[in-house]
Amino acid sequence: MRTDLQGECRQAMHNMPKFVNPKQAVQLFLNLTEDHGVEEVAVVRNPSYVYPPFDLYALAPRRRTVREGLLGVVKDMDGTTTTTEPLCIHSLEYMVRRITGRTEKEDWSGLNPQSDYPHIIGNSTTKHVEYLIRRYEDWI
């Protein structure tokens, strides 16, 4: 984020009220979506014991290519927000496919549960990526 934009965001947050009525909340949300070019909003249902019954999240614009504007990749695999293990395994496999060019199942069957999973489940994401780079470096 540019420094001048950071200052603007800080100032806007400083002036933002902590509580608003429903009509003001709708207007704040509409302003947020317009100011940031939001085209889609995720509607996330909450479990029956969580109030409110759903939450709304403004989504960043979709990317047309993997590298379009990509500065980094963040992966959470500790289960804090959701059960992310299947998603993270898929993401790591996708990363290997992209950097090796083996994007089709015919080119490579994918990560091996017996030989790869012990190195990519648990530990740190850094260790996961280091292992996969070492393991598949001949294909890169």
Q: What is the mean pLDDT of residues 38-48?
A: 90
Residue with more model confidence, 64 or 60: 60
* pLDDT recorded at residue 85: 78
Residue with more model confidence, 56 or 9: 56
- Torsion sign across C-alpha atoms 16, 18, 23, 27: positive
pLDDT, tens only, 86-101: 888 898 999 999 999 9
Q: Is the pLDDT assigned to residue 107 strictly greater than 80?
A: yes
Structure-block tokens of residue 80:
């804090």
User: Hunting for tokens 């890169």 — which residue is that?
Assistant: 140
pLDDT, tens only, 109-138: 999 999 999 998 877 888 888 999 999 999
Residue 16 DSSP code: S
Q: Is the pLDDT assigned to residue 10 strictly greater than 80?
A: no
1 pLDDT tier (thresholds 50, 70, 90): very low
Asked if the bond preceding 52 is cis, omega within 30° of 0, the reply is yes
Q: Please report, for the chain, the start and end positions of each structural domain, with discontinuous segments joined by +.
A: 3-58, 85-139
Backbone angles phi and psi of 45, in degrees to 5: -75, 140
Q: What is the mean pLDDT of residues 76-88?
A: 69
Beta carbons of 45 and 54 less than 8 angstroms apart: yes
Q: Is the pLDDT assigned to residue 67 strictly greater than 80?
A: no
Q: What is the mean pLDDT of residues 18-42?
A: 93
Which of these, 133, 92, 88, 86, lies nearest to 111 by C-alpha position? 92
